[in-house]
Structure 1
Amino acid sequence: MSVRKREWITASGDKKSGWVADYRDVKGTRRLKTFDKKKDADSFAVTAGVEVREGVHVADSASVTVSTAASFWVVTGKVSGLERSTIAQRQRHIDHHIEPLIGQTLLSHLNVPGIRSFEDRLRSEGRSAAMVKKVLVSLGGILADAQERGLATRNPVRDMRRNRNGKERQAEKRQKRKLRVGVDIPTREEAKAMIAAANGRWRPFVITLIFTGMRSSELRGLRWEDLSVEKREINVTQRADEFNEIGRPKSESGERSIPVPPIVINTLKEWRLACPRRATPEMDADGKPVKELHYVFPNGKGHIESYSNIVKRGLQPLQIEAGITKPKLDKGGTPIRDKDGNQVMSAKYNGLHAFRHFFASWLINSKSDGGLGLLPKTVQERMGHSSIIQTMDTYGHLFPRGDDADELATAEAAMLK
């Protein structure tokens, strides 16, 4: 490794000079890197010398752009057999967030300050905190894959996360607002109103959603063979992704058995008689396709129902019919009114996840409040959470406390007696 001054004459006749770091990389290939200032060349020489000795150095000329590394990462996911929806999510993060901002940056030029600047820019351009976090996870995955391919020496995303102290993590945690009943979680009265308003194909769906808390993908992939009438439980063994493709639940704990009350069993037994059946390749004696029961909540042809249809044709109209609404606002936040000046109302809860939250609150609430009063570990199992930490981080504030006013008064009287 050496640093020397270099002088040359440009095509226009101008005299130029610079400082060259001359070294051999881990493969023994000679590399030259030019700098305007000697101190920059010396600094690079020291760093590169250490990296070469440790066998992790990648020269700029041997490096690739973030965009190229991202394409390799997507290929890795496909070869590993990741679900199509997971691959699609990776590609969206690349196309909409990573490629436009740092796609042409060489991996060898990425460092912690650069990643922090990228994070700040994501926020300043309007990405939500949740989206920023997801994009950084994807970028970290891209760099990890590049490291395994020998295209990068370090992963500054992981370095940045490792350097953040406990106070910063606590600050991030404080920014996450607690779920509130009546805002994020439907109230018991709203759940009852939904059940009362539901009819036809949406009644069994809504009742199952409210009393099992299953994820939308799990409900869409639910088969009749997963329902045990004798044991009065539903076995979650598979789910349908955004492309209507069947796969395993999100995690090992996602495979679970959920005990259900009589209203679910009785409603599904009635629905089974009217449930659309899908045609099989077999033909009956009259030459017509054989129809068979398969999915519990299919579309009209007996196949997997799309999430958008469930929300737009079922959940949102039902809420409006049940009076579970909020004012509809335009992009500027101003209430929208119809031609007669009446305020236009929209469904209060946008997706199915709010009713999954309701199920969790029903499991947690004491029996005197109309709930089951279950322990946190049991709630985790029923929800299919991968860890008790996830359960407590999301719903811990809903669990009854043992230091309410009456108990405190009793303890005080006993202590001072």
Structure 2
Amino acid sequence: MTYDAIILGAGGAGLMAAATAGQAGARVLVIDHVEKAGKKILISGGGRCNFTNMGTEAGCFLSENPHFAKSALSRYTQWDFLALVEAHGIAWHEKTLGQLFCDGSARQIVAMLLDECAKGRVEVRLSTPVGRIEHADGRFRVGGATAPALVVATGGPSIPKMGATGLAYDIAAQFGVKVVTPRPALVPFTLGARDQGFKDISGVSCPAVARVGDAIFAEAALFTHKGLSGPSVLQVSSYWRPGQAVSLNVLEDAAAKLRDARSRMPRAHLKAALAEHLPTRLADALATRIGLATELGNASDRVLDEVAQTLTDLTFQPTGTEGYAKAEVTAGGIDTAALSSRSMEAREVPGLFFIGEAVDVTGWLGGYNFQWAWSSGVAAGQEIAARSGG
């Protein structure tokens, strides 16, 4: 069983690489140990798949080399993938912040990718453990199959219940390819006993500006029974390192709003003023944290300014995150310094490619990671096609 390429992983990146190479004439085999192709695609976006983002650019990705993603993203763009979606008659809509979703089901995206693979006569083997990988005489052997190219599209360890593993890192170690230490990303934070009052309001959300270091994102924040989540929080979690604080601005123009409340209802307490702008349970938790006992009419400008500072810079010290089980993606991964940005091929191991989430390129929340899967998959697929004479 001789092929031009063996692709490990039947997720977005792997199927995209396979379809690209196969339709150009390469003989391609895809292997995955799970029973369904595109399992992460199927659960994404609430089952509707946030398949790309209109604002995709290299600046929306984290990496030790922030320039690495530019080549692949510029050669296969969000508009290219959208054209493919439309060619398959898949209806879509834009939600907030450039996020594109299927009107129907994420199953349509998986079906589209498998259809594209079928057009290229790609062989897809599911429920097939990878097993041992051998490399000799310029060819890779996986099971009974051999090929001059091996594409690792097995992702990272996030969401292990979907079959995710760290196989890509094991393969990198086998071939001497460096790995940037992986970590959970787009992941909820856990909080300690000091913040029990906020864990007690599980399910409450509000618009907030979240900050970790220099990373700032404005979307909703969600308080959970374990800590903090919601889009703005998930965004900054990708930048977080243990020991760092997380802050939330939960009330824009807080000082002006508090002064206005003082003039309108001087006999009221802080909770009442906050409840005009925030969910009642959150207003209660904030009032308890701040501890302003006096009526608003008795609070000086200085005191109100101090309260406003807390509301616009509400600081938490996470005890950690909820880990890979709840992480939407994995940050870190295959060191981009070891790869060609044009083809995704390992510089020191000809024929070995790493694509998608396995690589140290991690997108923001909102369809960016899928676009990286499509773009990096096409980059590898085109290189394989060129070498096979396609």
- TM-score, normalisation: structure 2: 0.23
If asked which structure has higher relative contact order (CA below 8 Å, sep 6+), I would say 2
- Structure whose CA Rg is larger: 1
The structure with the largest strand share of the pair is: 2
The structure with the largest helix share of the pair is: 1
